[in-house]
Amino acid sequence: MNTTKSTYRLMMLLLLPLAFASCKKDEDLDPWAGLEDGKSTLIKDLAGDTNGSMGDEAEGKTKKGFDVFLFRFSDKKQIWLRNAADSARWLKTDEWDLAFTGPYNSEVFVNKGSYEFNPGYGGPATSAVVQLDKAYNLVNDAPSDGDFEQSDVNKIGWASDQYANGWFFYSLDTHIMIPIKNRTYAIQLPDGKYAKLELITAYQGNPPEVTNLNWPAPYFSFRYYVQQDGSKNLRTQ
């Protein structure tokens, strides 16, 4: 009898840890939470060239495996360059703001006709971009014209270390792209207006952490704000 009692007491003791066993709360995993501020435009899961691949070198392809697309802020238009005619029609114009190029469309350019390796090289557009290591919502003013002029940011892609230009890291352990948090791009658009841009992810659904090597990509999520009055005020909160 005594034994039974102490057994129960012991059992109670043993069940104690259960009370502490942190049961996983259904945390709000909404990946879009906090991204919409009422002023900015949020683009979710814009499909890049999902059929593209780097192509097997054995097949002797010289053409890049991914079709380039352009993006225009004013009407959220995605413009595909599927062939030479498309390129001729669009590249050397000031009708686009961003070009998504390279593997997985992950290398982003603003429209700068004066720069040799810019997709818009030779065109009329005179965009410039400045990289800011600052949260998007804290970027209240566009940098000075001098900063834009001096900026050496051209291709915005893989940042090989944490200082390098680029909007994502790439983990050699997991082979997954890791978007850089709180990195914002201030842009002077072809029409002279100022804008800010945050590239959020290239993975479908914007998961907080990619847990699968084959998570579908490229699906771009990004947000931007264009100051329509031509001033440098980029305040969005």
Partner 1 sequence: MKLKAIIYCQMLMLLSISPNLIQAQSGIRGGLNGGVSDADGRPIAGAIIQLEPDLHQAQTDDKGNFQFKNIIVGDYTLKTNNLGYQPYNTKVHIRVGQQATLSIQLKPNETSLEAVVVQEKVAAVDHLLDIQRSAMPVTVISREAIAQMGSRRLDEVLKEQTGIAVVNDIGGGARAVGVQMQGFGSDYVMILIDGQPMVGRNSGNFDLSRISVSNIERIEIIKGASSCLFGSEALGGAINVVTRHGAIQPQALASLRYGSLNIVDATLEGETPFHHQRGSVNLSANYYRTDGFNTDPRFMNGTTAPPYDDYTVQGRARYRLTETSTIGTSARYALRKSYMEQIFGSGDSRNTAGDSQDITDVNVSLTYDKTFSSGLRSISRYYLTRYISDMSILWQQSGTQASAEKFAQTLHRFEQQFAYSPVRNLKLTGGLGGSVEQMDNRDFNVPGGLWSGFGYLQGDWRINERVDAVGGLRYDHHNSFGGRLNPSLGLNYHILPTLTFKMALGSGFKTPDYRQRYQVFMNPVANYLVIGAELLRETLEDMKDAGQISEIREYLVNQLDQNLQAEKSLSFNGGFDFTPSQNLKINVNAFYHNLYNQINSIRVATGISIRDIYTYENLPESFNTGLEGSVAYSPFTNMDITLGYQYLVTKDRGVMDSIRNGTGAYASIRDNATGLFRESKLSDYFGLENRSRHMANLRVAYRYTPWDMTANVRVSYRGKYGFVDRNNNRFLDRYDTFVNGHFLVNAGVEKKLMKQHLSVQLTADNMMDYTDRLMPGQPGRVLLLGLTYRFYKN
Residues 204, 177: Cα–Cα separation, whole Å: 12
Q: Tokens 């002023």 sit at which residue? A: 39
Q: What are the φ/ψ torsions at residue 117 (nearest 5 degrees)? A: -95, 15
Residues 7, 13: Cα–Cα separation, whole Å: 10
Asked whether position 178 contacts partner 1 by CB under 8 A, the answer is: yes
Asked whether position 84 contacts partner 1 by CB under 8 A, the answer is: no
Please, which residue, 6 or 144, has the CB nearer to partner 1?
A: 6
- For residue 109, give the H/E element and its range: strand 107-110
Which stretch, 73-81, 185-193, 214-222, 229-237, contacts partner 1 (CB under 8 A)? 214-222
Q: Kindly state the smallest distance separating residue 60's Cβ from partner 1, in Å.
A: 9
* Angle (CA) 66 92 68, round 5°: 10
Which stretch, 70-78, 110-118, 171-179, 189-197, contacts partner 1 (CB under 8 A)? 171-179
Asked whether position 162 contacts partner 1 by CB under 8 A, the answer is: yes
- For residue 7, give the H/E element and its range: helix 2-20
Residues that bind partner 1 (CB under 8 A): 3, 6-7, 10-11, 14-15, 17-18, 20-24, 29, 31, 45, 47, 50-51, 53-57, 61-62, 103, 132-135, 159, 161-163, 169-176, 178, 180-183, 204-205, 207, 209, 211-216, 219
